[in-house]
């Protein structure tokens, strides 16, 4: 529980606790919201940096592929990073809006937009993980089918699909847990700030 939560708890329950006016609570909510959005932006930057490092390390170890594959892979990477940069820009814009505003309406709109962008960011990353697993699996199956006889190829394809599906399912569980711990926890705090601001303005 952070300082703002403790303050609100005592303010609501303890009659001897010094009363604080609405403007002071607003300033604290502004400061808390700014800090939350800043952390969302920082985490997304760290994820992007780790993704670039991982991508370069994988590229250096890759075996030779056809020109078509290389073009598709390059296009996918460019599109992926363009979208990630778009989300990072939105997170930074939200932080800048909260940092520079004293308008409650704008703060509320920024909180709602941040929540929407975080949800879309999580969905996008999960879809990309599923797509990456699918493409790698299909490529591996095609390579092995060309080398094996029909019966062996069918058996290999079946077990490959089964293994990758289970691995992908487990990996997505871990990713969802990671996002729940980080992003959704921060978004819940933003939602609490949003509700508090609504109550203050009523």
- Name residues whose C-beta falls within 8 Å of residue 156's C-beta, 6 or more positions apart in sequence: 141, 144, 145, 148
In angstroms, the CA 123 to CA 115 distance is: 13
Model pLDDT for residues 132-182, shown as the tens digit of each residue? 777 777 777 777 777 767 677 777 777 877 887 888 888 888 888 888 888
Out of 100-104, 108-112, 181-185, pick the least confident: 100-104
Res. 4: pLDDT tops 60 = no
The Cα–Cα gap between 199 and 12 comes to 13
Look up residue 15 and give its two tokens.
């009659």
pTM of the predicted structure, to 2 decimals = 0.74
Range of the domain at 113: 3-201
pLDDT of residue 24: 77
Number of separate domains in the chain: 1
Most confident of 1-10, 114-123, 131-140, 148-157: 114-123
CA distance 84 to 61: 24
76: pLDDT strictly greater than 50:
yes
Torsion region of 122: left, alpha or beta (phi above 0 gives left; psi -120 to 50 gives alpha): alpha
Residue 159 class from Cβ within 10 Å (0-12 exposed, 13-18 middle, 19+ buried)? Answer: exposed
Average confidence (pLDDT) over 50-61: 66
SS3 102: coil
State the pLDDT at residue 21.
65
Q: Is residue 17 very low, low, confident or very high in pLDDT (cuts 50, 70, 90)?
A: very low
Residue 198 has pLDDT above 70, yes or no: yes
Largest CA distance in the chain: 83
Which residues are CB-neighbours of 201 under 8 A, at least 6 positions away?
Answer: 104
For 142-153, how does the pLDDT look when each residue is reduced to its tens digit (9 = 90+)? Answer: 777 777 676 777
CB atoms within 10 A of CB 161: 13
Instruction: Please tell me the predicted confidence (pLDDT) of residue 12.
Output: 52
Q: Give residue 89's pLDDT band: very low, low, confident or very high (50, 70, 90).
A: very high
Average pLDDT value for residue range 48-52: 81
Tokens coding 45: 């930057």
């Amino acid at each position: 529980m952070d300082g703002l939560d403790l303050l609100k708890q005592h303010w609501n329950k303890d009659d001897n606790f010094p009363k604080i006016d609405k403007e002071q609570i607003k300033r604290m909510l502004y400061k808390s919201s700014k800090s939350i959005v800043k952390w969302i932006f920082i985490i997304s930057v760290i994820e992007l940096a780790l993704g670039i490092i991982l991508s370069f390390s994988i590229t250096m170890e890759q075996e030779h592929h056809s020109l078509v594959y290389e073009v598709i892979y390059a296009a996918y990477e460019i599109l992926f990073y363009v979208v990630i940069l778009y989300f990072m820009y939105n997170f930074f814009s939200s932080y800048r809006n909260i940092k520079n505003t004293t308008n409650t309406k704008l703060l509320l709109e920024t909180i709602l937009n941040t929540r929407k962008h975080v949800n879309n960011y999580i969905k996008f990353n999960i879809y990309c993980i599923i797509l990456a697993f699918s493409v790698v699996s299909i490529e591996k199956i095609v390579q092995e089918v060309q080398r094996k006889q029909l019966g062996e190829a069918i058996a290999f394809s079946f077990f490959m699909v089964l293994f990758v599906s289970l691995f992908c399912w487990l990996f997505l569980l871990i990713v969802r847990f990671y996002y729940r711990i980080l992003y959704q926890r921060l978004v819940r705090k933003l939602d609490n700030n949003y509700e508090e601001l609504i109550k203050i303005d009523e």
